[in-house]
Amino acid sequence: MKNDRLSELKFRVEGHTDANGTATSNEALSKRRADAVVTYLSQQGITTGRLQPEGKGFRGLFDATNPQAETNRRVMIVSLD
């Protein structure tokens, strides 16, 4: 993100959870997860205006065949440009 070729790009920081728990609690957890990554990236010198945190909860499972799999607990960074 600090590379000159990426310096003008904006990114969505998506927090995800597995399917354990309620939809409401997973939405909140995934948002906190995304916010934590935005905080870390800002501490590394990335302008927060380039980062849009979003909690996805357990929508968009990485491993839909195993909804409780650890791989579903993740953060994805997606370019918006």
Domains of the chain in sequence order: 4-79 (3.30.1330.60)
Number of H helices, E strands in the chain: 1, 3
What does the pLDDT read at residue 48?
A: 96
Radius of gyration for the chain, computed over Cα atoms and rounded to the nearest angstrom: 14
Among residues 32, 26, 37, which one has the least CA distance to residue 60?
A: 26
Confidence class of residue 22 from pLDDT cuts 50, 70 and 90?
very high
pLDDT digits (tens, 9 = 90+) for 31-76: 999 999 999 999 999 999 999 999 999 999 999 999 999 999 999 9
Backbone angles phi, psi at 16, to 5 degrees: -130, 155
Using a 10 angstrom Cβ sphere, with 0-12 exposed, 13-18 middle and 19 or more buried, the burial of residue 4 is exposed
pLDDT at 81 over 90: no
